[in-house]
Amino acid sequence: MTGSRPGRAALTAAMVVATFLLLPLLAVVPISFTPARFLSMPKGSWSLVHYRELIDNPDWGRSVLLSLRIGVVSSLIATALATMFALGIWMARPRLSALLVGFVLLPMVVPPIVSAMTLYFLLTGLSQLTGLLGYDAWLGVVLAHVVMIVPFAVVLILVALAGVDRRIDLAARGFGATLTQRALRVILPNIRFGVLMAALLAFVLSWEEIGVTLFITSVNAITLPRLMWMGVHDNIDPAIAAVSVVLITLTTIALIGRMMLHRADA
C-alpha cells in the first residue's frame, strides 16, 4: 500500500468509533461485580455472587450443554449438506447454477423475523405429527438452525472451491478415478480448511442464534441465548453481566490468538 497515512483528523474519528464499539463491552465488567440483585454499579464492595450463580443455578449449565449439542449437530448437518451442494455445483456446473446458489442463500438475506415466522409455521405443523421434531423440542431447534446457517456454510465452501485448480480434477479423471474418488480423495482434501471454517462458523451462528429460537421454543428447549433473553427482557438480572463477561473474554482471547497465529505464519 502506497500513499499517505491517515492524518490526525482521521485518526481521531476512528478512535471515537473504536471507543463507541468497545465501551458497552467494557461496561458489563463492573456491573458483573455488583452485590445487588438488580443492574447497578458496585458501590464500595465488589462481589462474585453473580459468577457463583452461574455455577450454582443448574439452568445455566443445562442451557450451555443444550446450546453446545444443538450447535454441534446442526453444524455437522449443515456442513455436510453444504459440502455436497457446493461439490455438485463445482463438478457438474449445471446450467442454472447461479439461480440454485441464489436459492440456497435465501435464508441469509430474508429478514430474520420472516424466517422466524416461517419456521414457527413449520415446527408447529410438525408437532402435530411428532413431538420429537416439533415446536420446543431440541431436534426442532436443530432443524431450524440448519436452515438458518446452511447459506453461510455454502458461501465459505464455494469460496474455497473457487481456489481449486480444475486441472487436478481433470487429471484424476484422466487416470480413471471414479466420481466418488474424485470428490473424496482429490477435491475434498484441497478444500478441507474451507470446510472446517464453514463448520466453525455454522457452529458459532447456531450457538448465538436468538431471533428464530425465540419463536420456536418456550419452556423445554432453553438454549443459552434463550435463557439470556429471559434475563434481559423480562427483568434485568446481573447474572447476564457475568455471562457476558465470560463470553466477551473468550471471544477476545480467540481473536487475539488467531491474530498471533497469523503473524507467526507470515
Partner 1 sequence: MHARTPARTGFLLTAPLLAFLLLAYVVPFLGVVQWSITLPEPGFSQYRKLATDPLALSVLVRTLRICALVTVAATAAAYAIAYVWVRGTPVQRRLAELCILIPFWISVLTRAFGWLALLSNRGLLNTWLQDLGILAEPLTLVRNEFGVIVGMTHFLIPFAVFPIVSAMRAVDGRVLLAARGLGASRLRVFWRIFVPMTFAGIVGAALIVFVFALGFFVTPAILGGGHSVMVAELVYLHMFQSPDWGLGAAISVMLLLVVGLLMLLLFRFARPAGLRASR
Q: Which of residues 53-92 bind partner 1 (CB under 8 A)?
A: 81-82, 84-85, 87-89, 91-92
C-beta of 193: minimal distance to partner 1 in Å? Answer: 19
Decide: is 261 part of the binding site for partner 1 (CB under 8 A). no
Nearest distance from residue 176's CB to partner 1, in Å?
Answer: 12
Q: Is 232 in the site for partner 1 (CB under 8 A)?
A: yes
Part in contact with partner 1 (CB under 8 A); list of ranges 36-44, 52-60, 68-76, 191-199: 36-44
How far, rounded to the nearest angstrom, does the alpha carbon of residue 28 sit from its chain's CA centroid?
A: 22
d(Cα 91, Cα 241) in Å, to the nearest integer? 49
Considering only 37, 41, 130, 184, the residue that binds partner 1 (CB under 8 A) is 41
How far apart are CB 196 and partner 1 at their closest, in Å?
17
Decide: is 229 part of the binding site for partner 1 (CB under 8 A): yes
Report if residue 228 touches partner 1, rule: CB under 8 A: yes
Q: CB 137 → partner 1: shortest distance, Å?
A: 15
CB of 184 to partner 1, least distance (A): 12
Number of alpha helices (DSSP H) and beta strands (DSSP E) in the chain: 14, 0
- Here the cell at position 255 is 481473536
CB of 75 to partner 1, least distance (A): 15
Report H helices in the chain. 8-32, 49-56, 58-92, 97-104, 106-109, 112-129, 138-162, 166-174, 179-181, 188-190, 192-207, 213-216, 224-233, 239-265
Size of the chain in residues? 266
Nearer to partner 1 by C-beta: 72 or 108?
108
DSSP string, 224-238: HHHHHHHHHHTS--T
> Taking CB under 8 A as the criterion, which residues in 93-122 touch partner 1?
93-94, 100, 103-104, 106-107, 109-122
Per CB under 8 A, 254 contacts partner 1: yes
Q: Which residue is associated with the grid cell 448465538?
A: 208
**Site membership for partner 1, residue 31 (CB under 8 A):** yes
Among residues 3 and 189, whose Cβ is nearest to partner 1? Answer: 3
Instruction: Specify the residue, 81 or 164, whose C-beta has the smaller distance to partner 1.
Output: 81
Query: How would you write 32-91 as a 3-class SS string?
Result: HCCCCCCCCCCCCCCCCHHHHHHHHCHHHHHHHHHHHHHHHHHHHHHHHHHHHHHHHHHH
Which residue's C-alpha cell is 456454510? 153
